[in-house]
Amino acid sequence: MNQNNRQNRGLVGYLALLIIMLGALSLVNFYSSNKSGNTVYDMEKALSSGQVAVARITPDQVPPTGVVELVLTSGEVLSIQVTDVAEAEKMLKEYNIYPVVNKAQGEGILTSVVLPIGLSVLAVIVVISIMNRGGGGAGRMANFGKSHARLSLGGEGITFDGVAALKEEKEELEEIVQFLKNPGKFIEVGARIPKGVLLEGPPGTGKTLLAKAIAGEAGVPFFSISGSDFVEMYVGVGASRVRDLFNEAKKHEPCIVFIDEIDAVARQRGTGMGGSHDEREQTLNQLLVEMDGFGINEGVIVIAATNRVDILDPAIMRPGRFDRKIVVGRPDVGGRKEILLTHSRNKPLGDDVNLEYIAQTTAGFTGADLENLLNEAAILAAKQERKYICQADINKAFIKVGIGAEKKSKIISDKEKRITAYHEAGHAILFHVLPEVGPVYTVSIIPTGMGAAGYTMPLPDKDDMFLTRGRMEQDIMVSLGGRIAEEIIFDDITTGASSDIRKATKEARMMVTRYGMSENIGVICYDDDDDEVFIGRDLAHAKSHSESVAGEIDREVKAIIDDCYRRAKDIILENENVLHSCAALLLEKEKITRKEFEDLFVQS
Ligand code: ADP
Ligand code: MG
Ligand code: ZN
C-alpha cells in the first residue's frame, strides 16, 4: 500500500472516531439533562487531574452565560453553569481539551434526538465500510487510536521471588521498587530517581519477567506495550499511541510503563530503510517528548527492553530519559541451577533427577531455554502416564530443545570449555598485571551467542586523550594472552584466537604507519586513509609508498608483535599457578567477579 492511501485511511479512521464521539456526547447529554450543582471549581479540579475525556459548551440564549458539560474518563458527566462561556472555552483549551461548542440553547427535537442518533448511525456505517475494505484492516480498526497497552495490576502476581539467578540485577532495581512503594520518602530528601531503565540482553533471559516483578513487588499498575505495536500502517498512529499510553499512565501513577522491543521504534533516526521509516521517527520523537515532559519523580517509571542496544538512537540514553542501563546476561552454572529449581517447584521430580548436573551441561542456555527444557520433560512424563519427571525425560527433552538452542548459543563440549577457560584466564592475567590496562571486571566462559566462547571484561576505559606507546603495546599483549595460554597448556592450538590476532595486528600496524612509533620507519604517516574498513582497501587505493617501504612496515609490525608476544608469555609463565586456579574457578562457576579473580593472586 502506498503512503497516500495509508494516510487517507488514517484520516477516515479519525473522522469516524470523531463522529462516534460527537454522537455519544449528544446521547449522553440527551439522557442526562439533570443540572447538578457543580461549580467552576469542580471543572478545574477535573481538568487538572486529567480526568476529562471530552467537553461540550452550550451557551445560553442570552450570552455570555451557558453550560459546560464534561464527560469524565470514568463515564461520569459533570454539568456546570458558567458565567462566561468564552472564558470556559479558554480554560478547557489550556488543558488541551477542545470542546464542542453548540448553538445557543433552546434546541428542538432535531438537535437533541435526531442529530445524535443520526450521527451514531453514520459513524457505524463508516466504520463498517472501512473494516470491509482490505481484510487486514478489521483487526486493526477494532482498537484504533487506543494505545494497545495492556494494563495489569501488580504485574500479574509476579514478584522478585519468581525471578531466579538475576541477583545483582534485582538489587539494582530494588531502589525503584522502594520509590514506587513510597515516593514521598525519596522526594522529601531530594533524591532523584531515574525516569527510565533500559534492560539489555539476549531473548529469554528474563527482561520481561524482571519488569513485571518490579510492578509486583511495588504493587503498582503495569502498562506494557511492544515496540512493534507502535509501528503501525497508519502514519501518525504510533505517535498518538505513545501519547495515549502516557496519558493513561499518568492517571495511574505511581506505575510502570514497559516498552518491549524498544529497538523497533528507537532505531537510530535517519538510517531507516523501507516504508515505515517516517512513522517510526515520529513515534520515537513523541516518546522522547513524553519522557522529557513529565517531571522528575513524577511516579511514572519507564522500563524498556531490547536485545539490540547497538542500533538504538543515542538520544534515548540522554540524562532524564533512559539514564539507567542494566545488562541481563545469560545465567552461569549457579544461576541455571536456581532457575531450574524455580521452575521445578510445581513439577514433581523423581529421585534420580540431578539438577546440579543439568545446570552444568547447559552452558549458554537462557532462563527461557531451561523453562522449556523442564516443560518438555514434563510433557514426556505425562505421555507415559507418570506422575513425576525422571532424568531420562530430561535427557530426551535436552536433545529436543538442545537442538533448537544450539542454533542460538551452540552447546559446548567439556574440552572446548577447558580451552576457553584457559584462554580467558590468559587475557585476564595480563589485564591484571600490566599497569596501563584493566583492572578486570568480569571473566566469563558463558557463550555469548554471538560467536564468542567467552569474554574478559575490563572496567570501562579511562577517557585518555592520547594513547601512549606503552599503552598500545600492553593492549597488544592482552590480545595475545588467550592464544599464549592455550599454547602453554595444550599441545595444540585452536582457531578460537583469530579475532584476537587480527586485533593485535591491526593495532601494531597503526603504531607503525600512523603514529610513528617504530625505530626504522620513523615519524612518517603511511596511513592517510581514515577508512576503518580494511577489506579491499589495498586494492582500491594506490599506495602512497614503495614496495620496499611496504616490506619494511611488515617487518616492523612483526617485530612489535613478536616482542609483545615474548613479554606476555613471560608474564603468564610467571603466573602459571594463577592460570590454573583461574581456569579451574571458571570451569566451576563460569563467571567470576573482579574480587574472586584478584583473590587468586593473593592465594598463590
Ligand atoms: P525476555 O523478556 O528477556 O526475552 P522473558 O522475561 O520473557 O525473557 O522470559 C521468558 C520466560 O523464561 C519467563 O517467562 C520464564 O519462564 C523464563 N525465565 C527467564 N529468565 C528467568 C529467570 N531469571 N528466572 C526464572 N525464569 C526465567
Ligand atoms: Mg520479553
Ligand atoms: Zn580471546
Tens-digit pLDDT profile for residues 459-479: 655 555 667 888 899 999 999
Q: Taking the CA atoms of 379, 385, 386 and 391 in sequence, report the sign of the dihedral they define.
A: negative
Asked whether 303 lines ligand 1 (CB < 6 A), one says: no
- Whether 58 is in the pocket of ligand 1, judged by its Cβ within 6 Å, is no
Ligand 1 pocket check for 371: Cβ under 6 Å:
yes
- Contact in structure between 579 and 489 (CB atoms under 8 Å): yes
71-102 per-position pLDDT tens digit? 676 656 778 888 788 888 888 777 777 777 77
Atom of ligand 1 nearest to the CA of 205: 3
DSSP 476-513: HHHHHHHHHHHHHH-SS--GGGHHHHHHHHHHHHHHHH
- Inform me whether the pLDDT recorded for 482 exceeds 90: yes
pLDDT at 390 over 70: yes
- Of residues 363 and 212, more confidence is placed in 212
**Residue whose CA is at the smallest distance from ligand 1 atom 15:** 368
CA of 370 to the centre of ligand 1 (A): 9
- Dist. CA 252 → ligand 1 center (Å): 26
Which atom number of ligand 1 is nearest to the Cα of residue 342?
A: 25
> Which grid cell sits at 449?
551467542
> Between residues 70 and 362, which one has the greater pLDDT?
362
**pLDDT (0 to 100) of residue 140:** 35
* pLDDT tens per residue across span 323-344: 889 999 889 999 999 999 999 9
Confidence of residue 23 (pLDDT cuts 50, 70, 90): low
4 or 457: which leads in pLDDT: 457
Residue 550 burial (CB count, 10 A): 14
Residues in the chain: 604
Q: Which residue did the predictor score with more confidence, 149 or 533?
A: 149
Amino acid identity of residue 47, one-letter, is L
Residues with CB in 5 Å of ion ligand 3: 482, 500
Rounded to the nearest whole angstrom, what is the distance from the C-alpha of residue 587 to the centroid of ligand 2?
29
Query: What is the rounded (10 degree) CA torsion for 293, 297, 301, 302?
Result: 40
Which numbered ligand comes closest to the C-alpha of 368? 1
pLDDT tens digits for range 211-245:
999 999 999 999 988 887 766 556 677 788 888 88
* Contacts (Cβ under 8 Å, ≥6 apart) of 578: 425, 429, 600, 601, 604
Ligand 1 lined by 205 (C-beta under 6 Å) = yes
CA of 203 to the centre of ligand 2 (A): 7
Residue 430 contacts residue 573 (beta carbons within 8 Å) = no
Q: Does 375 have pLDDT greater than 80?
A: yes
Verify whether ligand 1 is closer than 6 Å to residue 203 (CB atom): yes
**CA–CA dist 20, 116 (Å, integer):** 9
Nearest CA to 512 out of 492, 531, 526, 532 is that of 526
Nearest to 153 by CA among 199, 225, 197, 218: 218
- Give 482: exposed, middle or buried? Use CB within 10 Å, 0-12, 13-18, 19+: buried
Confidence (pLDDT) at 32: 42
Is any ligand 1 atom within 6 A of the Cβ of residue 165? yes
Longest dimension (CA), the chain: 102
Among 69, 424, 487, 590, the active-site one is: 424
**Average pLDDT in the 296-313 region?**
86
CA distance 354 to 361: 11
Ligand 1 in contact with 368 (CB < 6 A)?
Answer: yes
For residues 509 and 518, is the Cβ–Cβ distance under 8 A?
no
Ligand nearest to the CA of 204: 1
Is the shortest distance between the CB of 202 and ligand 1 below 6 Å? no
For ligand 1, say whether the CB of 344 is within 6 Å of any of its atoms: no
Q: For residues 97 and 113, give the distance between their C-alpha atoms in angstroms, rounded to a whole number.
A: 25
Q: Which atom of ligand 1 is nearest to the CA of 163?
A: 24
**Ligand in nearest proximity to the CA of 346:** 1
pLDDT at 22 over 60: yes
**Does residue 56's CB lie within 6 angstroms of at least one atom of ligand 1?**
no
**Per residue in 495-541, pLDDT tens?**
778 889 998 999 999 888 888 787 777 777 776 555 444 444 444 44
Alpha carbon distance 355, 333 (integer Å): 11
Given the CA of residue 328, which atom of ligand 1 is nearest to it?
3
Residues with CB under 5 A from ligand 2 (ion): 208
Ligand that comes closest to the CA of residue 328: 1
Q: And the C-alpha cell for 596? A: 574472586
Closest residue CA from atom 17 of ligand 1: 368
Ligand that lies nearest to the alpha carbon of residue 426, given by its number in the listed order? 3
Counting ligand 1 atoms within 8 A of each CB, the residue from 371, 374, 401, 408 with the most, and so the one to mutate, is 371
Q: How far is ligand 3, taken at its centre, from the CA of residue 505, in Å?
A: 14
| Angle value at C-alpha 168, between 165 and 171, nearest 5 degrees | 110
**204: Cβ below 6 Å to ligand 1?**
yes
Task: Report the amino acid identity of residue 470.
Answer: G
- Peptide bond preceding 314 in cis form (omega within 30 of 0): no
Distance 444 CA to ligand 3 centre (A): 11
Which band of pLDDT confidence, cut at 50, 70 and 90, is reported for residue 144? very low
Highest mean pLDDT range out of 72-76, 356-360, 401-405? 356-360
Residues 6+ apart with CB under 8 A from 72: 46, 51, 52, 53, 78
Whether 168 is catalytic is no
Is the CB of 369 within 6 Å of ligand 1?
A: no
547 pLDDT band, cuts 50/70/90, is confident
Task: Indicate which atom in ligand 1 lies nearest the CA of residue 165.
Answer: 23
Q: Can you give 153-199 as a three-state secondary structure string?
A: EHHHHCCHHHCCCCHHHHHHHHHHHHHHHCHHHHHHCCCCCCCEEEE
305 touches ligand 1 (CB under 6 Å): yes
User: Which string of DSSP letters, residue by residue, matches 242-254?
Assistant: HHHHHHHHHHT-S
Task: Output the CA 210–ligand 1 centroid distance in Å.
Answer: 8
Cα–ligand 1 centroid distance for 209 (angstroms): 5
Question: Which residue type sits at 268?
Answer: Q
Most confident of 2-6, 205-209, 362-366, 399-403: 205-209
Computed over every residue of the chain, the mean pLDDT equals 79
